Amino acid sequence: MQQAIDLIKSSKNILILTHKNPDGDAVGSVLGLSEALLSLPKNVECFSKNKIPDVFKFLTSVSSIKNQISPKHYELVILLDCAFFLRTGIDNINEVISSHNNLLVIDHHPKNKIERGCVSIIDDKASSTAILIYALLKKMRIKITKNISDCLLTGIFTDTGGFQHSNTDPQSLETAAELMRKGSRIDKIAKNIFNGKNVPAIKLWGKALSRIQTDKSTGMAVSYISKSDMEECGAKEEDASGLVNIINTVSDAKFSLLLTESADKKIKGSLRSEDYHGIDVSEIARSLGGGGHKLASGFEMESENVENSVEKIRKIMLKKL
């Protein structure tokens, strides 16, 4: 952590990046850290390959995350909520992180590839990247404003599934309490993220839920969303966020899978399980080139057909069992 602080202190222009398809922890971590560094003051720019999902619009600084990187010199590039730069999805990432930049990674994913030559703060026991950033800001004695609190609490809240997943630990609750004392409200975050669904999103969930299937031989509960589903409902890909957690509530399933057809003949897979099933879904994700946590992971595969993808995953699981 001290190495990270020294790097930040000695850098003027800083670029903050996160993984593609950013979730609440990615968005909250980028915005929270960015606002904190701006107060030092530093020149900070934030970039995401994908548009930030509308559910995070209540975070006031969300428009500061751009989808264009300005071609200037950054002394420091910080990567959040993932540990290797390929995960940013940026095509010319090697140009962006050319050798004159210092690199800092802050992440909580286990067994990840870690970019070489980085200073890194990696703690796979941490519930979220946001909680690691909170510890860093405290150590740097940076004033944690209400805005920063909202961002970091959003990260902790979303990555613990609203303090319900097995990664919900005393430290997450203690940090959440400290952030609430700075003015953040869990009810407001919950309302925006979990309860603020629009009609197209609910219709899309309905379609996927109506076709859930369970596979007895593997213990998998599976459903999918096709491009035509999204068109018919007037929904966007981001509207599927959170749906896999509902599929994961099927009582006789050991793990759940949601496949979502994305525009470019790629299928995005989301896997979830519960601790007491003793399954590590990140192993499935990794064998398909993805990654994540033991109980929540994801991958992307080239495929034109969701049925083929389900069959592929069924075979991987059968081999493992």
User: Which residues of this chain interact with ligand 5GP, rule CB under 6 A?
Assistant: 19, 23, 87, 270, 290-293, 296-300
Q: Which partner from the list Mn ion, ligand 5GP, none does 24 bind, CB cut-off 5 to 8 Å by kind?
A: none
Report DSSP letters for 212-277, one per residue.
Answer: -EEETTTTEEEEEE-HHHHHHHT--GGGGTTHHHHHTT-TT-SEEEEEEEETTTEEEEEEEE-GGG
Task: Identify which of residues 74 and 299 has a Cβ nearer to ligand 5GP in the complex.
Answer: 299
Q: Which partner from the list Mn ion, ligand 5GP, none does 207 bind, CB cut-off 5 to 8 Å by kind?
A: none
Report DSSP letters for 59-110, one per residue.
Answer: STTGGGEESS------SEEEEESSSSGGGG--TTHHHHT-TTSEEEEEE--T
Q: Closest approach of Cβ 112 to Mn ion, in Å?
A: 11
Q: Closest approach of Cβ 125 to Mn ion, in Å?
A: 13
Q: Which partner from the list ligand 5GP, Mn ion, none does 292 bind, CB cut-off 5 to 8 Å by kind?
A: ligand 5GP
- How many Cβ atoms from other residues are within 10 Å of residue 304's Cβ? 10
**Among residues 259, 252, 256, which one has the least CA distance to residue 302?**
259
Q: Closest approach of Cβ 58 to ligand 5GP, in Å?
A: 20
Distance (Å, whole) CA 318 – CA 321:
5
Task: Identify which of residues 13 and 50 has a Cβ nearer to ligand 5GP in the complex.
Answer: 50
Q: Which partner from the list ligand 5GP, Mn ion, none does 127 bind, CB cut-off 5 to 8 Å by kind?
A: none
Task: Identify which of residues 11 and 270 has a Cβ nearer to Mn ion in the complex.
Answer: 270
Task: Identify which of residues 37 and 131 has a Cβ nearer to Mn ion in the complex.
Answer: 131
Task: Identify which of residues 32 and 298 has a Cβ nearer to ligand 5GP in the complex.
Answer: 298
Q: Closest approach of Cβ 293 to ligand 5GP, in Å?
A: 6
Task: Identify which of residues 114 and 199 has a Cβ nearer to Mn ion in the complex.
Answer: 114
Q: Strand, coil or helix: what is 178?
A: helix
Residue 199 makes CB contacts below 8 A (sequence gap 6+) with none
Question: Which residues form the interface with Mn ion (CB under 5 A)?
Answer: 25, 81, 129, 159
Distance (Å, whole) CA 116 – CA 120:
10
> Where does residue 10 rank: exposed (0-12), middle (13-18), buried (19+ CB within 10 A)?
exposed
Q: Closest approach of Cβ 77 to ligand 5GP, in Å?
A: 19
Peptide bond before residue 22 is cis, with ω within 30 degrees of 0: no
Q: Strand, coil or helix: what is 17?
A: strand
Q: Closest approach of Cβ 71 to ligand 5GP, in Å?
A: 27
